[in-house]
Structure 1
Amino acid sequence: MAVDTPLFHVLAVDDSLIDRKLIERLLTSSSFQVTAVDSGTKALELLGLAGHENTNPHHHQHHQESENLKDIPVVIMSSENIPARIDRCLEEGANEFLLKPVRLSDVARLKPHLMRTRSNAQHSAV
């Protein structure tokens, strides 16, 4: 196994190309594999959660897919420092809220969430 294999794959969603490039660079330097897209719709397509009903009418897997999504840490990045909005995002299931511009110290805060997710996947028999 190669030493430089990325530990985790992060899906970054941002409508700003500059911010997407910035987060890609930050996360890649912290040994994350990054896929950056410009909309939530594209993110869902990548995760295999969108567009199924058109492609295959016999594909009844929506419940299972939404269960899978629960295991993915959701991190919101925004330049708007509005505490009420941040609280609402966290209440609705986001794991972390990073204020832009994102710094390397912020990236370090993501690792515990990702570690937890990986250990949950291994011990799902609980």
Structure 2
Amino acid sequence: MRVLVVDDSPVDRKIAEMLLKKNGGMFEVIPVDSGIKALEVLGLNEGKSERTHINEQKIDIVLTDYFMPHMTGYDLLKTVKENSNLRSIPVVMMSSENDPEIISSCKGIGAEDFFVKPFKLKDVQRLRTYAAKTPMCKHGTKRKLPVDVIPENSSYESCPRVPKVAVA
């Protein structure tokens, strides 16, 4: 799973990166230091709604700090959730402030979760649950078969349009 870690603090960004990479190789981390750079990685330009190569790096989860200069994590979250090509990507917010109003407003526009800094091992475990919810078919690893491919009888047989696949 590819995690885009967005934080203006080099220390907090490195902590998140180290904890995610230590988690059995499940996460590939793409660290950036601003919301503007995150938009570039996601294939969005500042001031434009879309580019032709949306989410070129196929980001699975965005983990972003709330308070950052120039573009806050809230603004990044809002931009991702307003984009039809990106809104399915889980966005998890982080902040050193445990402010119920901020947490509520983030979850209200689509944040999956809100972590209080410093980022901890238990937060990585929670991120794994969001990674499990991310649909794998968008990366081409799974696909649905058309209904007409599945035979009506209950015996197993080879599917004529999909070689070497047994269907019931």
Q: Provide TM-score, normalisation by structure 2.
A: 0.58
Question: 2:56 matched to 1:39?
Answer: no
Higher helix proportion? 1
Tell me the equivalent position of 2:107. Answer: 90
SS state at 2:135 partner: helix
- What RMSD, in angstroms, separates the aligned Cα atoms of the two structures? 2.5
Partner of 1:19: 12
- Summarize the Cα distance change of 1:123–1:76 in structure 2 as closer, same or farther, 3 Å threshold: farther
Match of 1:29 among 22, 32, 40: 22
Alignment deviations for residues 86-119 of structure 1 (CA, whole Å, 9 cap, x no partner): 1110111111111101111111001111111134
- Post-superposition offset of 1:68: 2.2
Higher RCO, 1 vs 2 (CA within 8 Å, ≥6 residues apart): 1
Equivalent residue number for residue 68 of structure 2: none
Instruction: Flag the structure with larger Rg.
Output: 2
Q: Distance in 1 between matches of 2:47 and 2:101?
A: 35
Structure 1 stretches of 5 or more lacking a match?
1-7
Q: Pick closer, same or farther for the CA change 1:86–1:124 going to 2, 3 Å.
A: farther
Partner of 2:45: 50
Shift of the 123–78 alpha-carbon distance from structure 1 to 2, 3 Å rule, reads farther
Is 1:107 the equivalent of 2:107? no
Unaligned runs of 5+ in 2: 55-81, 146-168
TM-score normalized by structure 1? Answer: 0.76
What is the number of residues matched between the two proteins? Answer: 110
Distance 1:124 1:71 in 2: 18
* Large movers: runs of 4+ above 3 Å: 119-125
